[in-house]
Structure 1
Amino acid sequence: MVNSQLQTDLREEAARLGFVACGFTSAAPDAARVARLDHYLGEGRHGAMDWMEARKEQRASPQGLWPEARSVIALGMSYAPDGDPLALALEQEPEKARISVYAQGRDYHDVVKKALKALARWLIEREPESELKVFVDTAPVMEKPLGEAAGIGWQGKHTNLVSREHGSWLFLGAIYSTLEFAPDAPGSDRCGSCRACQQACPTDAFPAPYQLDARRCISYLTIEHKGPAPEEFREALGNRIYGCDDCLAVCPWNKFADAAHRHLKLAPREELQAPELAAFLAFDDAGFRQFFSGSPIKRIGRDRFVRNCLYAAGNSGAASLVAPVETLLEDPDPVVAEAARWALVRLRPSP
């Protein structure tokens, strides 16, 4: 077991690097965590995210991915918004779109990983005989359950991590280490009888509290899902073109979240806070890539992004969007063309 002073110093260094939460837990397997993962995959709730099942054994336990690991350092970085993400409603500004708070700024992968690597270098300088690996949403790592185990929050009824100090607005990272740190007490569930997140979901994606069916989740449908979105969900997408904040935004614990604690490099781009749909519908591949350079939105590509914008256009009721939609009826991508036809029918209903 490493000395307690090293853990204290590490927490201080993590804070200096922009992390607002830091906790420690064991890298050993956890039966309850494995059972929860097995149930999720067994029900098929991961949808087309086949990579989750393909590396299930590595995801189930830190030591399944790296047998030499002894401890996990769980870290959280705030991206708290300046105001209520739900303030922009479809009926108020139908020609505008909503983008999830997390995607309005720079790509969090880059920001969080840079800070993780800096913390890792600091730790190696202090303990040169140790080994470690850093992760931020790019490997088979269960960041949310590990964050709960390390005491930086708890997995709420919406399945995301909730912090008493920072609400639902945390990017998570993890460092696996061969050092044996003293574990922190796990996070304590403080959801109580609240059902706000369950009731807020536009697509009823929660079969039960603490369970998510990704196949019904707007974040999954607009980001991970390839091909046409199921028609049963298109109207519920509203004007959400990348991700969804509804279940996070209504969480009462967000009253403690403060944008002053947000990492400076995660500030939102003004042009992504209430963007015009017409401009996005005009994107070709080069224009899309240039506009979203350095953004997590770039990962889904132009076709999927424009598909999402067409669903939003169809839901808008805005006559001004008819012309931009019509230009996409013969788009080379068949999914985009089909979405344009669907949107046009809604914008120009038969008499």
Structure 2
Amino acid sequence: MNESICYQQLAQQIEQWAIDLGFTGFGICDTDLSQHEAAFQQWLDNGYHGGMEYMARHGMMRARPNELLPGTLRVISVRLDYLPPDALIVSTMKEPTNAYISRYATGRDYHKIMRNRLKKLQQKIETQVEGLIARPFVDSAPILERPLAEKAGLGWVGKHTLILNQDVGSFFFLGELLVSIPLPVSEPVKEQCGSCVACITICPTQAIVEPYVVDGRRCLSYITIEKFGEIPVEFRKAMGNRIYGCDDCQLICPWNKFAQASSEDDFKPRKDLHSPQLLSLFAWDEATFLKRTEGSPIRRIGHERWLRNIAVALGNAPYEEAIVQALKDKREEVSELVQEHIDWAIAQQQEKTNSINRKTLRMLKAVERGMPAHQ
């Protein structure tokens, strides 16, 4: 580092560079996450990571950034808001024949966007610090990013385990830049969830098993995105029309009334993914799926799980003959995994029409007896 620049001045300069690069939040913390190790180990011991074996693969390295990158002294934590315009309107969830996709995934994949910006930030720091050791991360390494963001003052960990900020809520991405210089650290903010349990109450599968603890195996984001194989039957009705992720715990959070729409063009919803009809998405063959999800985080689940999720959502939709026919037509061209979910969906649709028929029959009998039809 040039001798004329002290670390305090450098930290201020780095923050300005981060703002210039488009980041909407910035903080610095040390690498000590030892207070989180016991809770993280208990979470693993409880099996709450489900099939995410990578969560346990590196042991406690996730809580030790200086082991991940030897020489690390500080972690620069950044925030990038992603909320699309009108995203807090939950009308899509109230239209059961439309598909609900988590708001973070309706635009372009954030990983490369943030990583490229962090790399540029690293290069700017290198102009001032000779021999800098640094490495950027965006969901790309075993690191506890939320505790780091909390320690860096970007917000506090809410009861749903996401970072909350009193000015912007929780609709933002996080990224980290590990550096080998002793920059001054930021002040953490006070936790402000208080007695509110809205996120716990609203969770469709009761995945928030206690404040600040999520059983990933029950979380619809995990089930629709991370989980391979069959979706447990016990969670299928709770999925509703959610085919990729779930935002319920964020949408209900009082702090998100302060959330502002992102100015990032890359995060604006694609036409095909904003509030599409389930039947339209179900008709996509693999080539169409790959084309329409190019550059989107959705592509990572693949066409098979895409159809699996949509089949469940179609089973949850109100009875329509067109839905039943589409399920039957698709069944002949998909894998056994998808077939199983299609069979479940057809059975659900059949149960709905049976219920309609039973109700109609009761009404006809009531009319025959000279009674009001609604009795």
Task: Please give the residue correspondences for 1:1-351 in structure 2 after superposition, counting only pairs within 5 Å.
Answer: 3-27=7-31, 29-85=32-88, 87-90=90-93, 92-259=94-261, 261-319=262-320, 320-349=322-351, 351=354
Kept after mapping to 1: 8 A contact 2:83/2:267: no
Q: Following TM superposition, by how much is the alpha carbon of 1:163 offset from its aligned partner in structure 2, in angstroms?
A: 1.0
CA RMSD of aligned residues (A): 1.5
Q: Following TM superposition, by how much is the alpha carbon of 1:31 offset from its aligned partner in structure 2, in angstroms?
A: 2.1
Letter of the 1:339 partner, please give it. Answer: H
Letter of the 1:263 partner, please give it. Answer: E
What SS is found at the alignment partner of 1:204?
A: coil
What SS is found at the alignment partner of 1:327?
A: helix
Q: In 2 relative to 1, CA 219–34 (structure 1 residues): closer, same or farther, beyond 3 Å? A: same
Kept after mapping to 1: 8 A contact 2:37/2:63: yes
Instruction: Give distance in 2, aligned partners of 1:348 and 1:113.
Output: 48
Kept after mapping to 1: 8 A contact 2:92/2:275: no
Instruction: Give distance in 2, aligned partners of 1:224 and 1:87.
Output: 24
What SS is found at the alignment partner of 1:77?
A: strand
1:108-134 CA distance string (max 9 Å, x none) = 112111211111111111213211000
Q: Which moved more, 1:231-240 or 1:121-130?
A: 121-130
What SS is found at the alignment partner of 2:176?
A: strand
Instruction: Give distance in 2, aligned partners of 1:37 and 1:95.
Output: 39
Q: TM-score, normalised by structure 1?
A: 0.95
Instruction: Give distance in 1, aligned partners of 2:271 and 2:147.
Output: 33
Instruction: Give distance in 1, aligned partners of 2:124 and 2:70.
Output: 23
Q: Which moved more, 1:306-315 or 1:118-127?
A: 118-127
Letter of the 1:99 partner, please give it. Answer: I
Letter of the 1:4 partner, please give it. Answer: Q
Instruction: Give distance in 1, aligned partners of 2:61 and 2:139.
Output: 14
What SS is found at the alignment partner of 1:187?
A: coil
Instruction: Give distance in 1, aligned partners of 2:334 and 2:97.
Output: 25
Instruction: Give distance in 1, aligned partners of 2:225 and 2:64.
Output: 26
Q: Following TM superposition, by how much is the alpha carbon of 1:89 offset from its aligned partner in structure 2, in angstroms?
A: 4.9
Q: Following TM superposition, by how much is the alpha carbon of 1:307 offset from its aligned partner in structure 2, in angstroms?
A: 0.4
1:12-47 CA distance string (max 9 Å, x none) = 1111111111000002x3221111211110111000
Instruction: Give distance in 2, aligned partners of 1:159 and 1:110.
Output: 24
Instruction: Give distance in 2, aligned partners of 1:262 and 1:140.
Output: 30
Instruction: Give distance in 2, aligned partners of 1:37 and 1:309.
Output: 33
Q: Which has the larger radius of gyration?
A: 2
Q: Which moved more, 1:327-336 or 1:216-225?
A: 327-336
Instruction: Give distance in 1, aligned partners of 2:289 and 2:109.
Output: 15
Kept after mapping to 2: 8 A contact 1:154/1:163: yes
Q: Following TM superposition, by how much is the alpha carbon of 1:72 offset from its aligned partner in structure 2, in angstroms?
A: 0.2
Q: Following TM superposition, by how much is the alpha carbon of 1:285 offset from its aligned partner in structure 2, in angstroms?
A: 1.6
Q: Following TM superposition, by how much is the alpha carbon of 1:238 offset from its aligned partner in structure 2, in angstroms?
A: 0.3
Letter of the 2:225 partner, please give it. Answer: I
Kept after mapping to 1: 8 A contact 2:37/2:60: no
Q: Equivalent pairs: percent with the same residue? A: 39
Instruction: Give distance in 1, aligned partners of 2:140 and 2:319.
Output: 39
Instruction: Give distance in 1, aligned partners of 2:63 and 2:88.
Output: 33
What SS is found at the alignment partner of 1:173?
A: strand
1:56-111 CA distance string (max 9 Å, x none) = 23212101212211100000100123235452255x42221100000000001121
